[in-house]
Amino acid sequence: MREAILVVPGVAMSEGAGVRIARLLGTQRLQLLDPFLMLDHFDSADADDYLAGFPDHPHRGFETVTYMLEGRMRHGDNRGHSGVIGTGGVQWMRAGRGIVHSEMPEQEEGRMRGFQLWVNLPARLKMTEPGYQEFPAASLGREARGEGVDLVVVAGATSRGTAGPVAAPHVDARYLDVALGPGARLEEPLPGDHAAMLAVYEGSVAVGGGGEVGALSLAVLGPGERVVARAGAAGARFLLLSGRPIGEPVAWGGPFVMNTREEVMQAFDDYRAGRF
């Protein structure tokens, strides 16, 4: 059974043009968990917290995953691709060799809530062409186990065979959104060679034989082949994320994640020269 070997509270900050977020992964306490680079949670009903959005910005060398719990986000890029991610939808974007894109609210009022996850790419895929996997809420896998246990499956598959629409074979990613009623218990196997983490965003949950992990905290799971999580008195909602580590050097410069410092500097040069 996997235990919580590190619990990291989210760090409040702003990103983009001033959007307020809680950063759960990618902080001084926990810089990365191979193959995952960053995890941000945004949640506000105050339009002033999100209206500025994320204007044009570049990426190279990894994938961004936007999962909308509530609200609508419009995206567009310098290659002519655009669309809207609605409530319950997901966009899994491969930046690859380079892309310039924006993510702007498609609303002026109401609650906007969701996550953005960064997933690293191995060296052999860092300079591939950019691409998208985009799915509305209706396309995601859903599993009701009864006794207060419900799952939404974005990527990978559960032990009961419910699969998500996103394919991420380079890290064999699992991305589950779990809802537990008060005192409800989830037990789910995970591959023993996966790094895994649990990000709580409502209520609290006890992981393995340990104490409770509260909302807006991330628990890194230790070695083992299954995760056991029990909700507290108010129930819980959390992401369960796992992936096979890439095991390569990580050179990180702002929006570019490569294997060497020289490759990062080349990315800055290419961006300034308009080669994205």
Provide DSSP, 139-202: GSEEEEEETTEEEEEEESB-TTS-B-SB--TTTT-EEEEEEE-TT-EEEEE--TT-EEEEEEEE
Q: Is the pLDDT of residue 18 over 90?
A: no
Mean pLDDT computed over every residue of the chain: 96
Specify the DSSP class assigned to residue 2.
-
Q: Using CB atoms within 10 A of its CB, is residue 186 exposed (0-12), middle (13-18) or buried (19+)?
A: buried
Question: What φ, ψ does residue 166 adopt, rounded to 5°?
Answer: -80, 135
Q: What is the dihedral of CA 62, 68, 139, 176, to 10 degrees?
A: 70
Token reading at 273: 């020269």
Contact 68, 88 (CB under 8 A): yes
Give tens-digit pLDDT for 36-66: 999 999 999 999 889 999 999 999 999 999 9
Alpha carbons 91 and 31: distance in angstroms, whole number: 23
150-159 pLDDT tens trace? 999 999 999 9
CB–CB of 207/219 below 8 Å?
yes
Amino acid 145 reads: R
158-214 pLDDT tens trace = 999 999 999 999 999 999 999 999 999 999 999 999 999 999 999 999 999 999 999
Per DSSP, what are the bridge partners of residue 36? 33, 119
Average pLDDT over residues 85-112: 96
Domains defined for the chain, CATH in brackets = 4-272 (2.60.120.10)
In Å, what is the CA distance from 67 to each residue of 41, 182, 221, 251, 257?
10, 25, 22, 26, 21
- Express as a percent the part of the chain with pLDDT over 70: 100
69: nearest Cα among 105, 110, 103, 114: 114
What letter represents residue 203's amino acid? G
Largest Cα separation within the chain, whole Å, is 57
Q: What is the DSSP string of 58-114?
A: EEBSEEEEEEEEES-EEEEETTS-EEEE-TT-EEEEE-TT-EEEEEEES-SSS-EEE
**What pLDDT was estimated at residue 15?**
85
Instruction: Report how far residue 57's alpha carbon sits from residue 55's, in angstroms, rounded to the nearest whole number.
Output: 6
pLDDT of residue 132: 96
The total of other beta-carbon atoms located within 10 Å of residue 247's CB is 8
pLDDT band per the 50, 70, 90 thresholds, residue 131: very high
